[in-house]
Structure 1
């Protein structure tokens, strides 16, 4: 769930227009030079950077805010912009550029050199000396984000993606901020949004900023920018989505699709010319009339707002102001996920009797600093009841009061055992009921921080057919140990390191037809490439044979960072379901995640098929009236005759 450590990252022809590419799918392509010189409303500064010599970055906005090119001025002319050598080239922008601005747009074409060292800024406006001061505004390409700060990096409010801005190709970058909303665009298409921005550009230095640069960070230890920049603009307002499309040169793009019944914002896949409309449950798909936001002068056919039958994908044709045409495919689906309300991560799904339970991390806190655990129950895996807080680190645990992460639950000896991460230790709590209240039987961590290499987090319990229970855990390294019959102690000499290649965290184990399946999450939970892989073995402790990745992102649906999962089997069937978290849709990240459930299936050889992540989720899972399943609280499931059906 968490990284082992955190570092501070600092980071045009008409035919090319239709090939403008979105960060959402990771495909790169040329960005067309901006074709929107007529958008002058609010223009505060405009460096075309189309000169062939000299040390002046001429301001074409008419405000006389010329910049000074320091170091080697790599002028190219012919639309290739200014080359920054990564050693001494940067542009000093005049003082007080953001004075009086409650809203802002910063826009540019950028080509990052393949050898760009990190961390770096594309630009930085503010007043700092090596991170000390009263704030700044910046954009970096690695990972691609824009941040605004009132002091040093610890005060940054970021509008961020979890991927790097592609290198060695022209990309158009725009950041807009107004009110409490910051939006980051690539090639005219929104790729990140932060709706909790409280710092305004004009508040930095109370309007006085004397460290304003293009190609240079406000941190002396950061690297200078290496690559090319052209058409650098600053507006004293937030450009509208259609204007951003036009400035980017993406004249056949679609900036926005709206409908009153959308559950969340439409998902625009610019690279594949596809739009997904996630609709509320109960929406009639046979006569939807979505509306589309286009670049100025562009047209769409059929017309925006025309009712159409969306029970199957439909197509539209966009004609740009320059005559370029592009066909878009638009699909509507009923979005039934996430299954839990609000922000939840690291879901542990388990069945006791005829009821399913999910125990998640309560998410949405900076630095994963939540302190409470909750429980949810369901009879059908679709409709979940909130049982409230079942363990609160502060009042319920003496030895930790922060970072409540990644719990797991099991039953044995007539008791329920809740294992959890607390301040990077692993604890255990016991109750007579699956919804608590839970008590600490040890008064100390079961596995303390520093006991072994890696972080002591992310516990999981597997009970074999013989009733023996095993505890798994780890971040960076994966461990397993047999639990004693009391479930709250173990023989430390029996701890085994079972770390597979690619392992990061989130271990989970199941058994099917005599084969053991070890599953885990790879990459950092803040990375959109967070994913689930697995191995098979002949015992609960291995040895293990890695089989591959079974769950990963689907950017065409806006699904990022799916992982830290758990699995449950429907009794008397070979039906399996996987609960996992993903970045919240829209605008989520590694600390704003949501929980969902999808099917998990096996092939004829017993290998796990690739899980298909969905927005629509699953149908309710029900049991026939002749099915009577009970939990004997010894760790084994006992099933009477009868089958469950979906």
Structure 2
């Protein structure tokens, strides 16, 4: 009897796993569950969030995705990528960065949390024909599997500048910029012949790199502080090129003792055809100090007349519904 009830519950959970999670109004967290390091985009006329499944490293071997047409009502797409599809990944799969190119979707991720060049792991890439996957390993090995300029190969963000594709990444207080081959199977040298350019923007840099362009200027954002503590936060710099040089301007996302702690490791969404921007990040509920209890939230991100990012107010209310425009007016590329 007990076994039959368990089977019924399992089948019910499976049936509900792709059912949209709806609510009467927006709110934070954006959707239920312990998730972190969200990567957000507009693909196929939907908002997409690809987060880390926040769990013990040994259990952190699968990714879900979430999609929405209005930033309020989200559909969960379970197991879009799992360690079963990446034979060299055994633990600590985290921090996705997903891009679309030529009708295919490329899912960059970190795995195994390597601590030296003697360990096997690093940054990998998987591919699928749809944003919701299923994704399969593209290379059968990591794209970057060792330390360069002191940067741990984690927390990558892939972006495009014109016809060129780049990736900024790095932990352990160092960040590198690399150029990607057009098919994402390797790295292209810079004009001076080097493969890895250190772009660490400030001594406070820890991890969680993100690069995007707005009005001809490049913004470099990153996380500071300890990800397990309340002081986790996000700062930024600006430059005329993704090559920099970048100089830290200010901290723009941080804890609020009346709302949540550990606000960091984020991405951003620009609503296609507008100058409306949202910051998608993870945070910890007040009073909860469990390492892996992190939740994805969304708040507005705004700029002043000089293009500087204004401090973000983290909220319980979240954002208002922002339906995407008609399909023929929506972008479906890697630009936020």
TM-score category, normalised to shorter length: 0.7 to 0.9
Per the alignment, residue 355 of structure 1 pairs with 46
Question: Is 1:515 aligned to residue 217 of structure 2?
Answer: yes
Q: Deviations over 1:400-422 (max 9, x none)?
A: 21101111100112211100011
**C-alpha displacement of 1:625:** 5.1
Out of 312, 337, 361, the residue aligned to residue 28 of structure 2 is 337
| 1:535 lines up with 2:231 in the alignment | no
Q: 2:109 aligns to what?
A: 420
1:586 is displaced (CA, Å) by: 5.2
TM-score, structure 2 normalization: 0.84
* Matched length: 300
Instruction: Provide, for residues 23-70 of structure 1, a one-character-per-residue CA deviation record: whole Å limited to 9, x for no partner.
Output: xxxxxxxxxxxxxxxxxxxxxxxxxxxxxxxxxxxxxxxxxxxxxxxx
610 and 468 in structure 1: CA distance in 2 versus 1, 3 angstrom threshold = same
RMSD value over aligned CA atoms? 2.0
Q: Counterpart in 2 of 1:103?
A: none
Q: 1:548 to 1:565 in 2, by over 3 A?
A: same
1:516, 1:598 → 2: CA distance? 21
What corresponds to 2:100 in structure 1? Answer: 411
Measured in 1, the distance between the counterparts of 2:326 and 2:208 equals 36
Pairing 1:550–2:252 present: yes
Aligned counterparts of 1:499 and 1:608: Cα–Cα separation in 2: 20
Aligned partner (choices 72, 95, 110) of residue 382 of structure 1 = 72
Structure 1 outlier segments of 4+, above 6 Å: none
Matches within 5 A, 1:497-646: 497-501=198-202, 502-557=204-259, 559-585=260-286, 587-624=288-325, 628-631=329-332
CA shift at 1:584, angstroms? 3.3
CA spacing shift, 1:470–1:587, aligned 2, 3 Å: same
Counterpart in 1 of 2:176?
Answer: 479
Q: CA deviation at 1:454?
A: 3.3
Alignment of 1:490 with 2:191, yes or no, is no
* C-alpha displacement of 1:450: 3.5
- Inter-partner Cα distance in structure 1 for 2:67 and 2:171: 28
Partner of 1:430: 127
Q: Point out where structure 1 has 5 or more consecutive residues left out of the alignment.
A: 1-280, 283-333, 638-646
When residues 379 and 626 of structure 1 are mapped into structure 2, their CA distance, relative to the original with a 3 A threshold, is closer
Preserved contact between residue 343 and residue 584 of structure 1 (Cα < 8 Å): no
Cα deviations by residue, 1:97-139 (Å, 9 ceiling, x for unpaired)? xxxxxxxxxxxxxxxxxxxxxxxxxxxxxxxxxxxxxxxxxxx
**Unmatched tracts of structure 2, length 5 or more:** 1-22, 114-121
CA contact (8 A) 1:345 1:594 kept: yes
1:142-178 deviations in Å (ceiling 9; x for gaps): xxxxxxxxxxxxxxxxxxxxxxxxxxxxxxxxxxxxx
3-state DSSP of counterpart to 2:258: helix
Judge conservation of contact 1:347–1:564 (CA < 8 Å) in 2.
yes
What is the CA–CA distance in structure 2 between the aligned matches of 1:499 and 1:403, rounded to whole Å? 24
* Preserved contact between residue 348 and residue 407 of structure 1 (Cα < 8 Å): yes
**CA positional deviation for 1:623:** 3.7
Query: 1:35-434 alignment to 2 at 5 Å?
Result: 336-363=27-54, 365-367=55-57, 369-393=59-83, 395-424=84-113, 425-434=122-131
Q: Judging changes above 3 Å, is the alpha-carbon distance between structure 1 residues 451 and 444 closer, same or farther for their aligned structure 2 residues?
A: farther
Answer yes or no: is the 8 Å Cα contact 2:26–2:321 preserved in 1.
Answer: no
**Is structure 2 residue 158 aligned with structure 1 residue 461?**
yes
Residues 232-275 of structure 1: per-residue CA shift (max 9 Å, x gap): xxxxxxxxxxxxxxxxxxxxxxxxxxxxxxxxxxxxxxxxxxxx
**TM-score when normalising by structure 1:** 0.45
Paired residues of 2:235 and 2:253 also in contact (CA < 8 A): yes
Higher Rg of the two aligned structures: 1
